[in-house]
Structure 1
Amino acid sequence: MFAADATVTRESMPGLPAALEALQAALGNKVVTSHAVREQHANITTYLPNEPADAVVFAQSTQDVQIVVGLCAAHRIPIIPWGTGTSLEGHVNAPQGGICIDLSGMNRILAVHAEDLDCVIEPGVTRKRLNEDLRDQGLFFPIDPGADASLGGMASTRASGTNAVRYGTMKDNVLALKAVLPNGEIITTARRAKKSSAGYDLTRLFVGAEGTLGIITELTLRLQGIPETITAGVCPFASIEDACNAVIATIQSGIPVARIELLDEEQVKASNAYAKL
């Protein structure tokens, strides 16, 4: 949770009504306080109950985010960034109340530099949407966490996926980003030059910070060429140790494997039962 601490509660936020009034004056109908919308943005899949924020702001630009952050900082109100709500760990819950910023409307692909194998996007762009746009250029973004998550959320949670063995995780594929800091200032962590050793590696500091250091409003991502052919294989092993040794030997041999997944006996039984095999 961004711009919050454990001492903040709804009872300790006397400035909330004034902040909501100021937000509505500045952003109009982008600010929504209806129970249904707030509940939707607190939907989690853990054992914890849903605890919605006090309002949801549907941001359309970095400037919108900056306005929300500035007002919330002035009134010590927590902020919860929201992309597509696919997180399974309760990131979008608001136990202390606060303002939820919905970034799904910031969904523009700002630039694709095919010759440099990178692109610039807003945080609400989803993985599938980006890859659909890149397909005609023979490119794709390789990180696949399973769900069609927003790329801003994937960066904030340092998402991984089944093909990390070849392409790495989000920390390896975010080249630069723009973020709004807790005081409302905007920071750009890096330029487009690939070879640069100047300054701190702020990009990796923000990737995986889960919104605690700032709210990401723009991302520059590394792209890959779509493989000409893809082949899959299934190999049974007598033991987990044998399977692990085979994985080690495969990687050490230099075979360009994109995905390696292990299913033990119980997982195979569960998969077969689910598929009614």
Structure 2
Amino acid sequence: MLNLPQSALSENRPYTYANSKEFIKDITIMIDALDFHSSVYLRELRDLATLAGFHLMQLDFRQHRDVFWSAIAEIFAHLGFVQGDLLLLPQDEQTHILNNALSAPLLDLNAIYANLSPQTQETLLSFVNFKWARDRISDNIIDSCIVSMCQSANDLLCVLWFAKQSGLWRKDEKTRISISPLFETISDLESAPKILRTLHANPHYNAYLLSRKSYQEIMIGYSDSSKDGGIFASNYCLRKAIENLLCLEEELNIKFRLFHGRGGSVSRSGGALEDALNA
């Protein structure tokens, strides 16, 4: 299991609240002991804690697919899971290696951590910190791991392997991470249904879906699709991709949650289309 050093972050500190519910309970005791006017600010504080917990806003973890691939290729080479460069293998061979790695027992990555590149160490620590934040701050502080420029089912299997090693996902247990593909280019938007079908058929990812109650989050990107095909082709392909994914829900018996990543400038497809045309 991945259990890398956390420095002071992992220390047990006395006289601290384990979660916001304990804090709210103490605030409520004080409110009940005071009259209405004396407890005004305490009631405001309780409302804030009820709405925002200790984390205020939920975070997303977003990273480019190439970063995950670079890290997993280096780790698999150290562990002997692959001979040569994982990144140069055909896609079906990569799938086979990833499936074997996902079937293997948990590994002691601490033994090789010091020998990894700084970028790979940072990728591993990202998942450790993901779990630490959910364990120590709030289960609501972070949920989504967004895979930018997702091009194949293997991109998500990479992330699933990291999730397994860090304890965010266990087979037959409730998962604590939402692995979310970001489909951005025209070709990736067109390939989205095929990628989801492939993932649904994969035994490891299917087990992950079941642990999420057959719920899959998907991000739809406007920026790169606009750069790739222009604003009109982008919007058409985005609409078709959404329609195709909605049809796929019934076929695979999966519930998709689609959300849109839309920038703020015309070059990133942000704002209303008519505003861009008028400009």
TM range (shorter): under 0.3
TM (norm. structure 2) is: 0.25
| Structure with more helix by fraction | 2
TM (norm. structure 1) is: 0.25
